Amino acid sequence: MDKEFEVAREFEADATPQQVWEAVTTGTAGWLWPLEYEPGVGGAGPFGGTVTAWDPPRRLTTRTEDVPGIDTQSVNQLDYEIAPRDAGRRAWVRYVHSGIFTDDWDNQYDGADRHTDFYLHTLRQYVAHFPGRTATYVAVDGPADSAHSGATAVLERGLGLPRDAAVGDEVRVTPSGLAPVTAVLDYRNAHFVGLRADDALYRFFCRQAWGGPVQAVVHHMAPDVDATAVERAWHDWLHGLFH
């Protein structure tokens, strides 16, 4: 049965409105995944969508109908409202994700709601610590059998993440076969783990609650990153961890 949904958040960011606007419109590889927007109302948006509001650096809205490749959603709309705070040194943001789910509404909504918090947290990390930096985006899915109830614990043990580590702590993770990473633990709950290093944001998605495998995402800010090599390394690690 078709049913509308809306996920709304308001937050402040340690960045100027212009920096947030640039992150949302051209710097998405630094916190989400690479997306392209054709500037101006009527321009092309991601996933076959259309830009319905374009007012830099204040308002961006895109709308997609008959979402391609997603048979559980028929309408998807993203809306960002951005305003200055602290004489323009900081930004206030209102984000609304709305549309129509066509199947399994409760599960789809729960996934969208929880992912929103992690994505917007990562946006705040990006604009606060890497504003304007070009990022190389790498995403790797674990095997299908990583979609089980104990996946988060397996992932954290594989990383060598201390069980008592709290958000804000500096940690050293040692995934087998990969170089150790010293980072700040910036996000941690039953579904997501976020690490912020000097030159990268590491994001881990444990999506078993929504029937998906574990995913590792790296937003590399360092220049000359060999994305193919990074992808291969994390693929081998994830698939070795869950076997």
Dihedral sign, CA of 226, 230, 235, 237?
Answer: positive
For 107, the token pair is 């599960």
Instruction: Give the side-chain half-sphere CA count within 13 A for 173.
Output: 22
Which residues have C-beta within 8 Å of that of residue 135, sequence separation ≥ 6?
27, 29, 30, 31, 126, 219, 220, 221
pTM tops 0.85, yes or no: yes
Residue with tokens 């674990």: 142
Transcribe 41-72 into DSSP letters: TT-B-GGG-EEEEEETTTEEEEEEES-TT-TT
Nearest Cα residue to 113 out of 132, 98, 126:
98
Digitized pLDDT (tens) for each residue of the chain, 243 residues in all: 789 999 999 999 999 999 999 999 999 999 999 999 999 999 999 989 999 999 999 999 999 998 777 778 899 999 999 999 999 999 999 999 999 998 889 999 999 999 999 999 999 999 999 999 999 999 999 999 999 999 999 999 999 999 999 999 999 999 999 999 999 999 999 999 999 999 999 999 999 999 999 999 999 999 999 999 999 999 999 999 998
